[in-house]
Structure 1
């Protein structure tokens, strides 16, 4: 479980592709207290630490993860957002993020006015239904507030701190980002669907 508050920006030092892709990420801050078997979010994707070296950790990436995220496009030297798993004593400063990416979005507009940068991100209708104005969303693992949402895109605005301390400052129009919608919206949909089924059964068969 994560919060979407990025702790550090790391750099990909090694990628070994195969049935299971192995990746090594150079970092410092997120190594504090991390042990083999712990979880670290890399661009919003929950990965298990398989080894720890001097100023780096390694993880394995399954094919399904590569298929549903943008981690497959990483290369040596790529910059990534990093966050350790939430401590039970930590503050939930962002929102509840699972690290299970739902889909990949594409940046279709980027506009900077004064100190605020606004991104317009295209996503499919399958997941846009979970996005609401002023709701929460994770973009490459960053907890952000939705400014505007539609059936095909949503917009988010970031403050200078986020711009300076995440990978969004190097993102350009056409780049992809990992999207995790607010898990609470999916639970709400499931509960409503069950309620409708129960009401149908009561009305027609009981």
Structure 2
């Protein structure tokens, strides 16, 4: 589990591509020097990867086909910057929001503008992601926990402060660039519960029932 608070702006040292997988090596002094161990989880541009090797200030992780297909990691090159975050410790703070590191898909940056000190990004995304995006809700872009400023049927906006701009990859993203997106997991589970209650059956054909309905959610302030 992660929080979307980027710890380090790492650099890709190597991306060795196979037929349907890849092996990624990232130089991240801030993260690796904090006692990173083999087998730990580290989010790279929002994608949860398992550390397979540690050498100096670098770590290596294997990237399977599903991850390459659902994320933008396959487009990385030697020298690319990446957002890096270690898994949250049990006694840590939720300075961002609940982030699993399991990318739901990708979006495309439509525009980048300024609003005072903030840099405003408009991102276009498919319906199966947009249905979980709500104004003033949370979304992770390239592993960064951000607040949604508006949401239409096929695009949404976020605004980043100077600190975020200085310590993440977003300032390197321009209109037309692909970015990793992870929806708020709570919204996904609520949608799943509601869909399962619509005439579905459980083991041995027994009816599946759920008290989670649209009426229930409205009555309880959702």
Distance 2:87 2:188 in 1: 22
Distance 1:63 1:24 in 2: 17
Distance 2:193 2:70 in 1: 25
Superposition deviation, residue 34 in structure 1: 1.4
Aligned to 2:123: 121
Offset from partner CA, 1:156-183 (integer Å, 9 cap, x none): 0011110111001111111111000000
Distance 1:190 1:53 in 2: 42
Structure 1: which 5+ residue stretches go unaligned?
A: none
Aligned to 1:16: 16
Aligned with 1:151: secondary structure? coil
Structure 2: which 5+ residue stretches go unaligned?
A: 201-206, 209-222
Superposition deviation, residue 113 in structure 1: 2.6
Q: Which moved more, 1:186-195 or 1:9-18?
A: 186-195
Where does 1:157-172 land on structure 2 (aligned, <5 Å)? 157-172=159-174
TM-score scaled by length of structure 1:
0.94
Selected match of 1:156 from 152, 155, 158: 158
Aligned to 2:149: 147
Aligned with 2:78: secondary structure? coil
Distance 2:66 2:48 in 1: 13
Superposition deviation, residue 150 in structure 1: 1.1
Distance 2:173 2:143 in 1: 14
Offset from partner CA, 1:49-91 (integer Å, 9 cap, x none): 0000011000000011000000010000000000000000100
Aligned with 1:34: secondary structure? coil
Superposition deviation, residue 41 in structure 1: 0.1
Distance 1:157 1:195 in 2: 37
Aligned to 2:30: 29
The alignment of Structure 1 onto Structure 2 pairs a total of residues equal to 200
TM-score scaled by length of structure 2:
0.87
RMSD: 1.3
Structure of higher RCO (CA pairs closer than 8 Å, 6+ residues apart): 1
Say whether 1:138 aligns with 2:127.
no
Selected match of 1:43 from 32, 42, 45: 45
Ranges of 4+ aligned residues in structure 1 off by more than 6 Å:
none
Aligned to 1:3: 3
Aligned with 1:188: secondary structure? helix
